[in-house]
Structure 1
Amino acid sequence: MTSRNALIVRGGWEGHHPVAATEVFIPFLEESGYDIRIEESPAIYADAEAMAATDLIVQSVTMSDATREQVTGLRAAVEAGTGLTGWHGGIADSYRASSDYLQLVGGQFATHPSRRPELLVEGSEENNYLPYTIEITDLGSRHPITAGVEDFELNTEQYWVLHDDLNDVLATTTHPTQPWHPWHRPITSPAVWTRLWGRGRVVVTTPGHTPDILEHPSVRTIIERGMLWATRTASAS
Structure 2
Amino acid sequence: MRKALIVWGGWLGHEPQQVADIFAEVLKQENFEVEISDTLQAFADAEKLKGLDLIIPLWTMGKIEQELVNNVSAAVQSGVGLAGCHGGMCDAFRENVDWQFMTGGNWVAHPGNDGVEYVVNIKQSSSPLVDGMQDFTVKTEQYYLHVDPAVEVLATTRFPLVDGPHVLNKAVDMPVAWTKRWGVGRVYYNSLGHVANIIAMSEVKEMMRRGFLWAAEGKELAARAGASAEAAYTGMADNQL
Q: TM-score w.r.t. structure 2 length? A: 0.88
Shift of 1:208: 0.5
Equivalent in 208, 211, 232 of residue 226 of structure 1: 211
Shift of 1:99: 0.5
Q: Which runs of 5+ in 1 are unaligned?
A: 115-126
Q: State the SS of the aligned residue for 1:204.
A: strand
Shift of 1:188: 2.1
Structure 1: distance between partners of 2:57 and 2:222: 20
Q: Does 1:167 align with 2:165?
A: no
Equivalent in 170, 176, 192 of residue 207 of structure 1: 192
Aligned residues: 220
Alignment of 1:185-196 (within 5 A): 185-196=170-181
Question: How much is the aligned-residue C-alpha RMSD, in angstroms?
Answer: 1.3
- 2:160 is aligned with what amino acid? P
Farther off after superposition, 187-196 or 38-47: 38-47
Q: State the SS of the aligned residue for 1:218.
A: helix
Q: TM-score w.r.t. structure 1 length? A: 0.89
Equivalent in 102, 110, 122 of residue 100 of structure 2: 102
Q: What residue is the counterpart of 2:16 in the other structure?
A: 18
Alignment of 1:62-81 (within 5 A): 62-81=60-79
Offset from partner CA, 1:101-130 (integer Å, 9 cap, x none): 00000110011001xxxxxxxxxxxx5320
Structure 2: distance between partners of 1:26 and 1:177: 34
Equivalent in 131, 137, 143 of residue 123 of structure 2: 137
Q: What residue is the counterpart of 2:4 in the other structure?
A: 6
Offset from partner CA, 1:59-111 (integer Å, 9 cap, x none): 11101111110011111000000000011100110011101000000110011
- 2:42 is aligned with what amino acid? I
Shift of 1:165: 1.1
Is the contact between residue 129 and residue 210 of structure 2 (CA under 8 Å) also seen in structure 1?
Answer: yes
- 1:181 is aligned with what amino acid? G
Structure 2: distance between partners of 1:25 and 1:46: 22
Equivalent in 202, 211, 214 of residue 217 of structure 1: 202
Is the contact between residue 79 and residue 200 of structure 1 (CA under 8 Å) also seen in structure 2?
Answer: yes
State the percentage of identical aligned residues. Answer: 36
Structure 2: distance between partners of 1:66 and 1:113: 27
Q: What residue is the counterpart of 2:132 in the other structure?
A: 148
